[in-house]
């Protein structure tokens, strides 16, 4: 009995202790876990904003962008001599938006403006303003512009503006992004706007930006930075080879003609790859074959070590021979540079076509010619083997894109040519969509029938090209012309390759 009494007493004391201390222990544990959670949260406090180090990019180092440079020179002149413009009642544009394809030199232009004007330069990526916590992005923008006003005259450069400036909608649930955009709008044209602070921004997607950003008083000017023309590409190549030892056999004018549709970043990459190859082979100067190799690598990809069976090689050889043959028959206006069955990138073989000139308008006949050439590889397989393979997948994808654009965007159909709304337009009826789909299929089917007829009619020439490819693996322009010297060319309506970036017909 005494033992039972003692046990009951002990349990009672334990119960009293738990009743007294358990709530305190729970509160301490809760506070500890809250402290741990807060300490592990991402740091959202804006870091200190300072002007970027002086840019060393000058106008002389930017080539092929004369129109954009002329627009930006006015900003530089205003920041250097504001009194001259103030006497005339003129004000500097509050914002200048540089838009265009990637790799055309938008960021480079902003650096040149900062260097030439001598103004304080603040650069930020628009994605750095995007946060999951409400108010953080707006706070960062306020901090950026407050600092810029303290260092005026100043230039604020925002790269990839569409990350924060995308168009708002009534169904949008991202209130943080809306607050960030609203704060940017206020800073551009609000009560505290400073005329000595100029905002430059770059974007690849002008159509995705909010209309409030693009109105006068905010981004007053929208400057298109497009891919350079022939003269621009030649000037860019000269800039990027200025400090490189170039051999006497290198003609930069020819390289420029072969790079239609490429931007400044692509041209710089070609010059760099050519220099790397020359160094790898132990030469002291960069020769023409280094530029040819670099151009082919950029266009078609890196040469792979895939080993094809003899059967696969034969299929690829006839497929690529079909592309080359029909290209020649249509007038050789696609400027064939090389046909090969050496695998590069995802392609098991390819025909490399590089235009000799810049073209900005293409006719219906030219687009049909290009579709015919794309389908000639499959046609050659059918004529030779009586069956088809998977080697035409990329060709068919491009055929679909071209034929669809002809009907839905360019109004080149025969039955619905006057109506050119896109396929995803809500105002387009299902009946019209079906009609256009039939038109698109008819264009591709007629081009395929034409390719089949040409390959069947010139079967001997197709055999010569395929046998030469199986023997030598690669044929250049002169080789193809020699092998097809007795094959008459059909009258062509012009080049089938426009200003778009040149791509190989691959397998």
Q: Are 37 and 133 within one domain?
A: no
Are 151 and 101 contained in the same domain?
yes
The structure tokens 């512009």 sit at 145
Pick the catalytic residue from 273, 320, 366, 370: 320
With respect to residue 181, please indicate whether it lies within any of the assigned structural domains.
yes
In a domain, 50, yes or no: no
Indicate the number of domains in the chain: 4
Residue 75: CB atoms within 10 Å: 20
- Block means of pLDDT (10 residues each) for the chain, 507 residues, are 56 67 77 68 52 69 84 81 78 83 86 81 76 68 84 83 75 66 79 73 84 83 86 89 88 86 88 91 88 84 75 89 89 73 80 74 87 92 89 89 88 70 66 82 92 92 90 86 83 41 48
Determine, yes or no, domain membership for 126: yes
Spatial separation of the C-alpha atoms in residues 17 and 40, rounded to whole Å: 34
Distant-in-sequence, close-in-space partners of 279: CB < 8 Å, separation ≥ 6 = none
Domain boundary among 250, 266, 300: 300
Burial of residue 127 (CB within 10 Å: 0-12, 13-18, 19+) is exposed
Does residue 236 share a domain with residue 218? no
- Given this model, what pLDDT does residue 154 score? 82
Query: Is 397 known to be catalytic?
Result: no
Could you give phi then psi for residue 344, rounded to 5 degrees? Answer: -140, 135
What local confidence, expressed as pLDDT, does residue 8 receive?
A: 63
Give a yes or no: residue 5 inside a domain. no
pLDDT of residue 153: 80
**The three-state (H, E, C) secondary structure of 107-138, written as one string:** HHHHHHHHHHHCCEEEEEEHHHHCCCCCCHHH
| Per-residue confidence (pLDDT) for residue 1, from 0 to 100 | 47
SS3 label, residue 439: helix
Question: CATH number of the domain that 407 lies in?
Answer: 1.20.58.760
DSSP code, position 92: -
Last residue in a domain, options 253, 281, 300: 300
Question: Which residues have C-beta within 8 Å of that of residue 146, sequence separation ≥ 6?
Answer: none
* End-of-domain residue from the set 300, 322, 356: 300
Domain extent, residue 432, equals 310-506
- Look up the CATH number of the domain holding residue 256: 1.10.8.60
Question: Do the domain assignments include residue 402?
Answer: yes
* Residue 280, burial from CB neighbour count under 10 angstroms (0-12, 13-18, 19+): exposed
Which stretches of 49-196 are assigned E, i.e. beta strand?
95-99, 120-125, 154-159
- Sequence-separated (6 or more) residues with CB below 8 Å from residue 117: 75, 76, 79, 80, 153, 155
Structure tokens at 222: 């929208």
Q: What pLDDT shows up at residue 111?
A: 84
Alpha carbon of residue 201 to chain centroid: 17
Supply 396's token pair: 């068919």
Query: What CATH number did the domain enclosing 204 receive?
Result: 3.40.50.300
């Amino acid at each position: 009995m005494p033992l039972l009494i003692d046990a009951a007493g002990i349990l009672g004391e334990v119960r009293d202790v738990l009743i007294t201390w358990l709530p305190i222990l729970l509160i301490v544990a809760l506070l500890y876990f809250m402290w741990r959670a807060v300490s592990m949260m991402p740091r959202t406090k804006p870091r200190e904003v300072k002007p970027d180090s002086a840019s060393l990019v000058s106008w002389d180092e930017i080539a092929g962008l004369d129109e954009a440079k002329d627009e930006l020179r006015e900003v530089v002149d205003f920041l250097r001599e504001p009194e001259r413009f103030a006497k005339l009642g003129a004000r500097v544009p509050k914002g200048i938006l540089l838009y265009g394809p990637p790799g055309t030199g938008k960021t480079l232009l902003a650096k040149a403006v900062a260097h030439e004007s001598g103004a304080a330069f603040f650069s930020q990526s628009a994605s750095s303003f995007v946060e999951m916590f409400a108010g953080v992005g707006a706070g960062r923008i306020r901090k950026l512009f407050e600092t810029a006003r303290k260092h005026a005259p100043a230039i604020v450069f925002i790269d990839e503006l569409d990350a924060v400036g995308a168009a708002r909608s009534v169904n949008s649930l991202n209130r943080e992004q809306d607050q960030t955009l609203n704060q940017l709008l206020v800073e551009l044209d609000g009560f505290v706007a400073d005329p000595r602070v100029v905002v430059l921004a770059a974007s690849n997607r002008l159509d995705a930006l909010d209309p409030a950003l693009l109105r006068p008083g905010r981004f007053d000017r929208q400057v298109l930075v497009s891919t350079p023309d022939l003269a621009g590409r030649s000037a860019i190549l000269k800039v990027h080879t200025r400090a490189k030892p170039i051999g006497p056999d290198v003609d930069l004018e020819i390289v420029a003609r072969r790079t239609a549709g490429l931007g400044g970043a692509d041209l710089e990459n070609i010059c760099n790859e050519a220099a790397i190859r020359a160094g790898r082979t132990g030469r002291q100067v960069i020769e023409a074959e280094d530029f040819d190799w670099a151009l082919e690598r950029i266009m078609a990809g890196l040469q792979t070590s895939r080993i094809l069976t003899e059967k696969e090689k034969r299929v690829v050889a006839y497929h690529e021979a079909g592309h080359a043959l029909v290209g020649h028959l249509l007038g050789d206006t696609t400027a064939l540079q090389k046909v090969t069955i050496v695998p590069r990138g995802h392609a098991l073989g390819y025909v490399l076509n590089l235009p000799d000139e810049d073209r900005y308008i293409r006719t219906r006949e030219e687009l049909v010619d290009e579709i015919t050439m794309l389908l000639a590889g499959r046609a050659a397989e059918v004529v030779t083997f009586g069956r088809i393979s998977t080697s035409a997948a990329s060709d068919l994808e491009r055929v679909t894109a071209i034929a669809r654009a002809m009907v839905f965007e360019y109004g080149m159909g025969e039955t619905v040519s006057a109506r050119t709304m896109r396929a995803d337009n809500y105002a387009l009826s299902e009946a019209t969509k079906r009609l256009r789909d039939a038109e698109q299929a008819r264009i591709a089917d007629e081009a395929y029938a034409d390719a089949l007829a040409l390959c069947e009619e010139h079967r001997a020439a197709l055999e010569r090209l395929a046998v030469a490819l199986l023997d030598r693996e690669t044929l250049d322009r002169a080789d193809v012309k020699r092998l097809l010297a007795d094959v008459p060319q059909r009258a062509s309506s012009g080049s089938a390759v426009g200003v778009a970036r040149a791509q190989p017909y691959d397998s």
